[in-house]
Structures are given as structure tokens and as C-alpha cells.
Amino acid sequence: MLGVYRLYEGRLQSQIETQVAPSHIGIILDGNRRWAASQRLANGMGHEEGANRAEELLDWCHELGIKTITLYVLSTENLDRTPEELKKLFVLIEARLARLVSDERIARYKVRVRAIGQLELLPKSIRDLLSAIEAKTAGFEDHYLNIAVAYGGRAEITDMVRAVAQEVKAGKLAPEEITEETIGKRLYTSYLPNQEPELIVRTSGEERMSGFLLWQGAYSELVFMDVFWPAFRKIDLMRAIRTYQRRTRRRGK
């Protein structure tokens, strides 16, 4: 069975290598709890296995030449879950961030890591780890890993509008000077060389954006996959890239 998988993986890789791969992909990591239920495991095991896939993803994207990854890890709506589930999630997130701080691949691949979202809603221990990772990787620019945590697209746009309104009120910006570039410079992703993901993938079979990169993803190609995130494999990523490559991107033209 492993031999068949390797053959298929090699075939997919040879196919996508003949076309241009997306430089920035966004992934909505969905289906952790449903995967656990399908395996008759506790919810926490689904999140744990999902975190394993997210760590493997860094290698896959490097091998496939993808420069920027934005992962939708935890939405602002997810924060409405039960205190017991949130506590377990925060413990897992903290443990994986602690591993990320010392992950040798970050320096080897020169990955700049940054969290985007309403980080003030997170426990201080997680915020401290995120600050440490951002400081440690601030000088890297070969690759970018964005962790969307306590993130909501509407909240991001609201924060952007508030920032623009404050500048207008202070007389630093005239209303007629507001452009798409003005907005882009005030989004959470403003530090990226390419804010707009060419491809957004959602796992678990759900076909909606759930507030993910609402502004940046306006012209992203969307690929919805039936596989639950913990069961996601490198061949699933390559299948999504192949789907992207087979489409004609018109951007409204």
C-alpha cells in the first residue's frame, strides 16, 4: 500500500512541477473533532493529531516551493466553546508553540512566524510565546508562516476601519485619500510581500470561508476537500495545488 502511495505522490509531484505553484496558500484546518468521533476518540485526540499535520505541513510546503502559509487555527467564534474544551485547546496550542520556538526548521528554512488575530483574547502564556517566536524570526524573509488564532475576518476589517477613522479624525488622512492600498496597509497581514493567497483550502467537506481572510481572499481560488484535517496528507495538498493549476485565473477580467 505504501508503494502505491509513493507512486501516486511521485506522479502528482511531476504534474504540478510543470506549472507555477501558488506562492501563498491559506488553509482552514477543519474537522479535528469529527475525525476524532469517526475514530471513536476524545475530541482532544483530534486536535492533537491535527497539530501533528500542521507541523508536517511546513516540510511539504517547503518541498513544493510555497513561500507563504496562513493557517486558520482558532477563530473568534471558537472562543465560545466550553471552558473545558478551551482549556485543553490552549494547553495544546501552548505546547506546540513551545516546540515551534526551538524547531530547527524555522531557522533552516528562514521562516518568519507571526500570529494574526485578536491576540489579547488569548492567555498571557500563549501571547508571550507568540512574541518570542515573532522576535526570534523577525529577520527572516525566505518564507512566512502566519498563524491565524483568535482570528475573525470581520474583526480584522473592523480594526482596520477603526485605524483609518482615527487617522482621519487626527487630520493625518483625508477621506478622499482612502484607497485599497490604504486598507491593505492596515490589515493584520500588511507585513507580507504577498498578502493575497492565490489558493485557499478548507478540509472536512464544509464549503464556506467562515470569516477567513475576507479582504485578502477576494480573488483566491477555493478548494474544498472532504478529508478531515487530521487525515490530511501531502498528496491532498498536491491535489489541491493541481486543481488550482488547472483553473484560469481572471480576477474579474
> Residue type at 252?
G
251, part of any domain: no
250, part of any domain: no
Q: Would you state the cell numbers that stand for residue 107, as one nine-digit string?
A: 531557522
CA-based radius of gyration for the chain: 19
Number of structural domains, the chain?
1
Mean pLDDT of all residues in 179-191: 97
115, part of any domain: yes
130, part of any domain: yes
Q: Would you state the cell numbers that stand for residue 217, as one nine-digit string?
A: 481572499
Residue-level pLDDT at 5:
81
In the 8-state DSSP scheme, what is residue 203? -
Question: How many percent of the chain have pLDDT more than 90?
Answer: 92
Cα separation, 188 vs 148, in Å, equals 10
Q: Residue 209 sits in which domain range?
A: 2-245
213, part of any domain: yes
Edge-to-edge order in the sheet of strand 68-75: 111-116, 143-151, 68-75, 24-28, 199-202, 221-224
**pLDDT tens-digit map of 226-243:** 999 999 999 999 999 999
* 245, 54 contact by CB (below 8 A): no
By annotation, the residues acting in catalysis are 30, 78
* 150, 116 contact by CB (below 8 A): no
Residue-level pLDDT at 9:
87
Residue-level pLDDT at 27:
98
Average pLDDT value over all residues in the chain: 95
Residue-level pLDDT at 1:
65
Residue-level pLDDT at 214:
98
For residues 126 and 251, which has the higher predicted lDDT (pLDDT)? 126
123, part of any domain: yes
State the pTM of this model: 0.95
Does the pLDDT of residue 2 top 90, yes or no? no
Give the CATH number of the domain where residue 198 resides.
3.40.1180.10
**pLDDT tens-digit map of 127-178:** 999 999 999 999 999 999 999 999 999 999 999 999 999 999 999 999 999 9
In the 8-state DSSP scheme, what is residue 135? H
Cα separation, 26 vs 48, in Å, equals 20
Please identify which residue in the block is written with the cell numbers 509531484: 13
**pLDDT tens-digit map of 36-69:** 999 999 999 999 999 999 999 999 999 999 999 9
